[in-house]
Amino acid sequence: MDLIGKICILGGGTWGTALAKMVLMNQKHINWFIRRDDQIE
């Protein structure tokens, strides 16, 4: 599978987390920006 361009996800809510999980099934790296420190694990 060819890798697609760079991917950035903004937000760490349920929708952002679901997108990150789906993308990481096919990509090795994403840029994920989360505003609230309490949402970062």
pLDDT tens track for 1-37: 565 678 888 888 889 889 989 988 988 888 888 887 7
Q: Which residue has the tokens 């679901």?
A: 18
In the chain, where are the structural domains located?
8-39
Provide the terminal-to-terminal Cα distance of the chain, rounded to the nearest Å. 30
Instruction: Specify the 3-state DSSP secondary structure of 33.
Output: strand
pLDDT value of position 18: 92
**pTM over cut 0.75:** no
pLDDT value of position 37: 73
CA atoms within 13 A on the CB side of 29: 2
